[in-house]
Amino acid sequence: MLKNKFISIIFCFILFNSCEEESKISFVEVKITTENNDSVEINIPEAIGDMTIAEVINSEINHTVMSALHIGDSENITSKSVEESIDTFNKEYKNFMNEFPDSAQVWNAEIDGEVIYQSDEIISVSISSYVNTGGAHGIFHISFLNFSAETGKRIPNGNLFNDITAFKNMAKTYFDTSIKDKSTLFEKDNFTLPVNIGYTEDGLILAYNVYEIAPYSTGLIDFTIPYEEADDYLVFKGSR
C-alpha cells in the first residue's frame, strides 16, 4: 500500500514537471508575405507554447511590425494584421507610381526580429526595420520589446528599474564614453535614457534611434552596460 502511494506521488511529480515544461515559451522564425507582395520582406520570431502567453507576445510583435509599415501617423493604424499592412504598403506604392509615373523611386521595407535574451523572468525581442518610401534615404529603426516570461505582457521601461534615477546617473558614464563628439547631439548637455532598453547575453543594451538625440548622419547610437554594473538597479536580474 505504501509502495503504491509512493509511486503515485512520483507519477504526479513527473506529470507536474512535464506540464510545466510544456507551458514554457519558445520561438520559431516566421516569414510573412502576401500573394502580390514585391516590396516587403519580413522575418520575425513567433512565440509558441502556452497559447495564453504566446498570443500576448505575438500581438505586441505584430503591432510593432504594423507600425513600421504604416504610412503616416502611427496612432492611426487601421490594419488588423501584418498581412493587411503589407498589402496596404504595396497599394500606397502603386498609388504613388500612378501619381508620379516618371519617378525612378522604388519603395521597399525590410523587417527582421530576433529574441536577444530569455530567462525565467524576462524575454527581450529586437525588431529592426529599414523602410524606404522616397526621399534622400530610407529610415532604419530598432525597437526592443521586453516581456514578462510569466504573463507575456509588455514591461514598460520604468518597471525594469528599482531606482531609475541612480541607474540614469550610472548610465551617463557609459554614454559619455561612447560619444566621441558631443557636438553632433541635439542637446549635448542634457542626458536622457533612450526609448529602447533591452536585455542581451552581454548586458543591458541602450539604443538611440536616428533623430532621437542626433541627426540622421550620426546613425544609431548604442552602448551596453555589463550586468555586474547594472544588476543592482534592475528588477529583473540579468546575470546568471
Question: Is 2 domain-assigned?
Answer: no
Model confidence at 11: pLDDT above 50: no
pLDDT digits (tens, 9 = 90+) for 48-79: 999 999 999 999 999 999 999 998 776 778 88
What is the predicted pLDDT for the residue at 12?
46
Q: How many separate domains does the chain show?
A: 2
Query: pLDDT grade, residue 13 (50/70/90)?
Result: very low
Residue 212, Cβ density class (10 Å: 0-12 exposed, 13-18 middle, ≥19 buried) = middle
Pairwise CA distance, residues 220 & 140, whole Å: 8
CB neighbourhood size of 40 (10 A)? 24
Query: pLDDT grade, residue 215 (50/70/90)?
Result: confident
Pairwise CA distance, residues 77 & 228, whole Å: 41
Model confidence at 14: pLDDT above 60: no
> In a 3-state reduction of DSSP, which class is residue 227?
helix
Directed axis angle between helix 51-69 and helix 82-99, to 10°? 10
Pairwise CA distance, residues 153 & 149, whole Å: 8
Q: Is the dihedral of CA 43, 44, 47, 53 positive or negative?
A: negative
Three cell numbers written together for 179:
560619444
Chosen domain end from 129, 155, 181:
155
**208: which DSSP letter?**
E
Question: Is 59 domain-assigned?
Answer: yes
Identify the CA nearest to 206 among candidates 142, 140, 121. 142
pLDDT digits (tens, 9 = 90+) for 78-137: 889 999 999 999 999 999 999 988 888 889 999 999 999 999 999 999 999 999 997 778
Model confidence at 22: pLDDT above 60: no
What is the predicted pLDDT for the residue at 119?
95
Instruction: Supply the CATH number for residue 49's domain.
Output: 3.30.565.40
| Residues 48, 151 within the same domain | yes
Q: pLDDT above 70 covers what percent of the chain?
A: 89
Question: Is 193 domain-assigned?
Answer: yes
What is the predicted pLDDT for the residue at 223?
95
Three cell numbers written together for 211:
533623430
| Residues 151, 41 within the same domain | yes
Query: pLDDT grade, residue 3 (50/70/90)?
Result: very low
Identify the CA nearest to 38 among candidates 105, 1, 89. 89
**Structural domain of residue 164, as residue ranges?**
156-240
**Percent of residues in the chain assigned helix, strand, coil, to nearest 5:** 40, 25, 35
Identify the CA nearest to 160 among candidates 100, 230, 83, 79. 230
Pick 176 or 217 by higher pLDDT: 176
Sheet holding 26-32: strands in order across? Answer: 26-32, 40-48, 108-118, 122-132, 139-148
